[in-house]
Amino acid sequence: MYIEAFGGTLGSRKTKYRGMDKRLYTWQASSAVAERAIRQMRPFFRTKAEEADLALEFRATFRPQFGDRSRMPEEVVNKRREIGEKMKLVRKLKRVP
């Protein structure tokens, strides 16, 4: 479904879940493809809305404003760290004990 709608690749691997063999599927995409997918699906998110918003905020720091070979400004590095810490906190708060 995601590949037809947005592009990217589908991967899978075997894993154990509660002692049973299961197949785990993953969808991988470039940051631009993932951004487009998140923007289109965002109105339907309930439990992942805050994470989606943080992902889009992080993606906004990827803009080609720095050129291909220039050093990333320290404020962008700090912004990415800040967003990463927020994402960790959101995920931690959503864990069920």
Note the pLDDT tens digit of each residue in 26-66.
999 988 899 999 999 999 999 999 999 999 999 999 866 55
Beta bridge partners of 23: 14
pTM: 0.77
Beta bridge partners of 12: 25
Separation between Cα atoms, residue 97 and residue 93, nearest integer Å = 10
Q: Which residue's structure tokens are 């299961």?
A: 22
Separation between Cα atoms, residue 90 and residue 50, nearest integer Å = 8
Question: Is residue 22 within 8 Å of 16, Cβ to Cβ?
Answer: yes
What residue segments make up the domains of the chain, in order of their start? 1-44, 46-97
Average pLDDT of the residues in 71-92: 92
